[in-house]
Homo-oligomer: A and B are copies of this chain.
Amino acid sequence: MVIVLKNTATKQQVNELVSWLEGYSVKTNLVQGVHSNIIGLIGDTVHIDIEAIEANDCVEAVRRVQEPYKNANRKFHPDNTVLDIGGRLIGGSKTQIIAGPCSVESEKQLMETAIACKQAGATMLRGGAFKPRTSPYSFQGMREEGIQLLLKAKKETGLPIVTEIMSLAHIDMFAEVDVIQVGARNMQNFELLKALGRCDKPILLKRGLSSTLEELLMSAEYIMSEGNSKVILCERGIRTFEPMTRNTLDISAVALLKQKSHLPIVVDPSHATGLVKLVEPMSLAAVAAGCDGLEIEVHCDPKKALSDGSQQLTPQAFADTMKKIKALAEFMGKPVDDVE
C-alpha cells in the first residue's frame, strides 16, 4: 500500500500516522519527493482500512498495491481448483454445461425440459425454485415444491441440480441440492455468503450487475474465509448504457478471473443478453475465451414460460447449439464432459 501525503503535512502529523500504521504490524518507508512525500507500507495490509487512512488530514491519496483477497487468489494457490459435482469435474480439463428452465413451473415442464437437456448433452440441470423478480406481481417461483421437483428430475435424469437460494431461512430445503446458486442481486448479501461459507456444498456465485471483478472475488472470499472453498464464479453480464441487450456480457472477465484466481468460472449467456439469438454466439465466445462451463436456459415451450421467455432456448435450438459448443470445446482442448 502506498500513501501519498499532502504538501501541507507536518512532521508531527506524519509521525502520528506512522505510529498508528505500525500498530498494524506493517513496516513503513518514507519517500521524499519534490511536490509530495510518500509512505510505502510493507507487510500484510489486508486488515488496514484505506478509508481510515484517507481520513487523516495529512493524506492526499492511498493506493493499494496488493489484491485484497487471499483464499481466492491464484498467487497463493497456483493450481486450478477442480470441484467434483456428482462425478462431474469443474475447473479442470472438461467443460460443464448447466442447462434447464429459468423457473420450475410444473412437473411436466421440468421433466420434459430436463430430459431434452440431457439428451442434447447437458451435464447438470438448472431450474429456479425461488425467483428474484423485479416486480412483486410477477411469478415468484414454486419455492419448496420447486426444489422437490428438481430432486425428482435429478433422480430421473441423473443430472446434478443447480438452483438459487434467496434467503438464509430456506437453507434446510437445499440439503440435497448439488450446487447452491447465489444470484447477481445477492452477490453482496454478506450474511447469506457467510452462512454458505459454513456449509459443505459448491456455491455458484454470480457477479452482481454493477460489481467489479475484485468485488466478485471479495464475495468469494466471504464464503471461503468461513471454511467453504468450493466456489464457482459466474459472469452473467453487467449493467451498461447499451439498451439492445439486457446486460453486457463481459467476456474478458473469463480470462481475467482465470489469471487472478484458481476458482472455476462459468458464463451465463442467457441472462447476460436476454436474447435467444445471442445465446449461441456468446456461448462459443465464452468457450473460446477459456471458461469452465456454461449455464444456458432451455424451456420446453418458451412462449408459455412464466419468466424470461425471451431468452430461453427450445429443446431443438439447444440441441443445435450444443453440437457447436461440443465441437468447439473439443477443439479448444477442454471437451464437454461425457456424462455416460
A277 and B255 within 8 A (CB): yes
Quote the shortest CB–CB distance from A193 to chain B (angstroms): 8
Give residues 288-326 of A contacting B (CB, 8 Å): 288-290, 302-312
Select the residue from A38, A46, A308, A311 with max chain B CB neighbours within 10 A. Answer: A38
The interface residues of chain B lying within 8 Å CB-to-CB of A339 are: none
Quote the shortest CB–CB distance from A294 to chain B (angstroms): 13
Q: In the complex, what distance in Å separates the CA atom of A49 from the CA atom of B137?
A: 9
Contacts A38-B40, A65-B61, A137-B47; A214 near B244 (Cβ below 8 A): yes
Contacts A278-B255, A304-B52; A166 near B191 (Cβ below 8 A): yes
Instruction: Point out the residue from B4, B192, B215, B273 that lies within 8 Å of A65, measured CB to CB.
Output: B4
B218 and A244 within 8 A (CB): no
Select the residue from A166, A210, A311 with max chain B CB neighbours within 10 A. Answer: A210
A210 and B285 within 8 A (CB): no
A136 and B221 within 8 A (CB): yes
Quote the shortest CB–CB distance from A39 to chain B (angstroms): 9
The interface residues of chain B lying within 8 Å CB-to-CB of A11 are: none
